[in-house]
Amino acid sequence: MPTAVVLVLLALTVVFIAVIIARPEVTIARGGKILAFLALFVLPVFAGFTGLENHINRSQQTTFCLSCHVMDDYGKSLLVDDASYIPAAHYQNNRVPRAEACYTCHTDYTLYSGAVKAKLRGLHHLYAQYIGKPSHPVHLYAPYNNRECLHCHLGARSFEQGAVHTADPQTMADIKSNKLSCVSSGCHDMVHNVSQLDHQKLWKPVQ
Amino acid sequence: MKENHFMAKKLRTSGLLIIAGLLVEALSLAWNHPLSFVAFLGLGGLLLAAGILVYLWALVTTASPSETSSAKSREANASTE
């Protein structure tokens, strides 16, 4: 739900509640009781859920991920002027939506994987950012899952008929079952490589 | 009368808590940052939940007018007997 709609809903709820606060005696009548139930239960619960949905959608935005200082270099790595950098090539050529570039390739990250442990990791990131000391460079908690590549590339001609992918029937099976990582050494292994950024020319997006 | 006053007080408390929660939610939506998400959940969610609980608590602890009148009539019957 768009933020403007959520804000209108919040304003409407506040107006109803203000009526209850100013004239609580209206709740003696049946209509007033219904109004109180709507204003003090139904609408706040609904407003809470729409707000949560809105926040989760916003947290998938690239600007949200890059709002933490520790992610600055990862944001820069999307602009490297070198097609062998996988994230840069995807970002610059619109192979992933630029506004949600991080989330598109990291759908299992913290909040989105569903597990309680993952939510706690998200809180730990906040702790590390504002109170502790974030590790540099940051590392994924689990090896990169091929699923992140295959949700777009699976079925694509370049993937299914790629010379290296089909050289041995076992290779394709291992890629699809995540036994052989797409980002293995010698394959698509130029990922963010933030330690090499100082030597790289950066691309300036057309405004 | 006393019951109505009690209910009105609870409704006002509940309403003020919910309005505070909704204001926190509105402010958090104006800021796209991980801390705004934490403020929304930790502060806004807490205030909203507290307000709703106060309202529900008022509903279950305040006797309805029909219950009050029947209790009075029971008391009156007991005193005449």
**How far does the CA of residue B79 sit from the closest CA of chain A (Å)?**
29
Q: Which residues 6+ apart lie within 8 Å of B66 measured at CB?
A: none
Structural tokens at position A189: 């292994």
The end-to-end CA distance of chain B, in Å, is 27
Are A123 and B34 spatial neighbours (Cβ–Cβ below 8 Å)? no
Q: Find the closest chain B residue to A11 by CA distance.
A: B22
**How far does the CA of residue B10 sit from the closest CA of chain A (Å)?**
10
Cβ A41–B55 below 8 Å, yes or no? yes
pLDDT average, residue stretch A190-196: 89
pLDDT greater than 90 at residue B70:
no
Q: Find the closest chain A residue to B48 by CA distance.
A: A44
Probe site for chain B from A5, A14, A19, A21 (most B CB atoms < 10 A): A21
**Token pair 């139904």: residue:** A42
The DSSP code for A201 is: P
Cβ B16–A21 below 8 Å, yes or no? yes
Instruction: ipTM value, please give it.
Output: 0.79
**Peptide bond preceding B34: is omega within 30 degrees of 0, i.e. cis?**
no
- Predicted confidence (pLDDT) per residue in A119-177, tens digit: 677 778 888 888 888 877 788 888 899 999 999 999 999 999 999 999 988 999 999 99
Q: Find the closest chain B residue to A127 by CA distance.
A: B35
pLDDT greater than 90 at residue B72:
no
Confidence of residue B71 (pLDDT cuts 50, 70, 90): low
- Predicted confidence (pLDDT) per residue in B6-44, tens digit: 788 999 999 999 999 999 999 999 988 888 988 999 999
The A residues from 84 to 123 touching B (CB cutoff 8 Å) are 122-123
Between CA B69 and CA B80 the distance in angstroms is 17
Which residues are paired to A202 by β-bridges? A80
Q: What is the 3-state secondary structure (H, E, C) of B16-49?
A: HHHHHHHHHHHHHHCCCCHHHHHHHHHHHHHHHH
Between CA A139 and CA A127 the distance in angstroms is 16
The end-to-end CA distance of chain A, in Å, is 28
Between vectors from CA A64 to CA A61 and to CA A68, what angle results, nearest 5°? 150
Query: How many residue contacts between A and B have a Cβ separation below 8 Å?
Result: 97
| pLDDT at residue B75, as a whole number | 63
Q: What residues in B contact A1, CB-CB < 8 Å?
A: none
pLDDT greater than 60 at residue B66:
no
Cβ A41–B11 below 8 Å, yes or no? no
Are B18 and A44 spatial neighbours (Cβ–Cβ below 8 Å)? yes
pLDDT average, residue stretch B66-74: 57
Assess B53–A contact: CB distance below 8 Å, yes or no: no
- Predicted confidence (pLDDT) per residue in A72-124, tens digit: 999 999 999 999 999 999 999 999 999 999 989 988 765 655 556 776 777 78
Confidence of residue B62 (pLDDT cuts 50, 70, 90): confident
Q: What residues in A contact B44, CB-CB < 8 Å?
A: 48, 51
DSSP result, A136-149 = SS---SSPPPTHHH
DSSP result, A53-121 = HHHHHHTTSHHHHTTSGGGHHHHHGGGBS-TTSHHHHHHHTTSS-GGGHHHHH-TTSGGGG--HHHHHH
pLDDT average, residue stretch B37-60: 94
